[in-house]
Amino acid sequence: MPANRSRTHRWRDCLWQVYERGGALEISLARPGQTESSGSDLIWRVKIMHLTEDEIVVSQPAAFGRTIRIEPGAALIGAMSIGQNRWMFRTSVQSIGNHDRLRLAMPEEVSRCSRRSYYRASAVGVELPQVECWPLLDPSTVGAAEVANEAFARDLARYRRDPVGPPPSQPQLLPQVGPSFNASLVNLSGGGLGLTVESSESAGLDRIRYLWLKVSLGEDLPAPIALTGRVVHSHIDSMQKVHLGIAFEFGYNPSHREFVISQVCGVVSRMLESQGKSEAA
């Protein structure tokens, strides 16, 4: 059996193992006409609900406790990791099944890469959003900063539609925080997100309980999304990177939740619209 056929066969075996253990895939919306991403990509972990020879059935992605609906025809990049191996592939949503499940086409080809090379592969890849993080010393101080960031985002959206006068200024208001550090957003789920922090940025992370976060999504969303998160778990990998599991925390400013959801849904809608325009061209 040729090497590429062998790797694909092994990938299918591993996919069945993940399914039998109640595991998940990672999916993101593919950017049309490009093998390299021109912006930052949102990645969701979705549970594998069923497998056939031709389809992978998964749950709809979610964020902030709400389903992020992806419609039939959407082009996706999928990924699965086992141990030090990672497989990435292109697929699409064939249909919406029972209980709102996504029926994905089983890929004909996969790209295999080491986890050390992470979210890059020769044929497919994604660009992880960058996150500026601050240890949050007093979570009760986030309200004013979140309101200021929301106002800036709305003003910037209006300015982009009608660029009259000077552009709005990025607010400098912060809650009560410690020194900042940088991270990458590796996945979103219904109740939280996953961050990866390089070893050079990770000093003191084991003592942090809350974080103030600004998530940058490039041209898809020029104003970073600001939100509060609670650290629920962490671990260090073989390359000394720190992986943080963050739960969304809107208890100190509940009204901010709907705005953040609208921002993420807006990004997804624009990416799906871009895919549609590419197919029509």
pLDDT digit string, tens, across residues 65-109: 888 888 899 999 998 887 767 788 999 999 998 888 999 999 988
Q: Cβ distance 91 to 107 under 8 Å?
A: yes
Task: Provide mean pLDDT across the span 201-221.
Answer: 88
Give the mean model confidence (pLDDT) for residues 24-35.
Answer: 78
Q: Which fold has domain 3-117?
A: Pnp Oxidase; Chain A (2.30.110)
| Residue 146 CB contacts under 8 Å (≥ 6 apart), including other chains | 226, 227, 228, 253, 256
Residues 252-271 have pLDDT tens digits of 999 999 999 988 888 888 88
For 107-150, how does the pLDDT look when each residue is reduced to its tens digit (9 = 90+)?
Answer: 988 887 765 555 544 445 678 899 999 999 999 999 999 999 99
Spell out the alpha helix ranges (H) of 78-232.
142-161
Is there a contact between 263 and 256 (Cβ–Cβ < 8 Å)?
no
57 DSSP β-pair partners = 50, 103
- In angstroms, the CA 52 to CA 16 distance is 10
- Are domains 3-117 and 130-280 of this chain identical in fold? no
pLDDT attached to residue 112: 76
DSSP element (H, E) containing 235: strand 225-236
Its CATH class, for the domain covering 130-280, is mainly beta
Please report, for the chain, the start and end positions of each structural domain, with discontinuous segments joined by +: 3-117, 130-280
Structure tokens at 197: 């922090």
CA distances from 29 to 75, 102, 195 (A): 6, 13, 19
Whole-structure pTM over 0.85, yes or no? no
Give the pLDDT of residue 85.
74
Per-residue pLDDT, averaged over 169-178, amounts to 91
The average confidence (pLDDT) of the chain is: 85
- Residue 202 or residue 33, greater confidence: 202
Answer yes or no: is pLDDT of 1 > 50: no
- Element (H or E) spanning 156, and its range? helix 142-161
Residue with tokens 């990645």: 43
Which residues are bridge partners to 81 per DSSP? 86
5 or 109, which is more confident? Answer: 109
Task: Determine the residue type at 125.
Answer: G
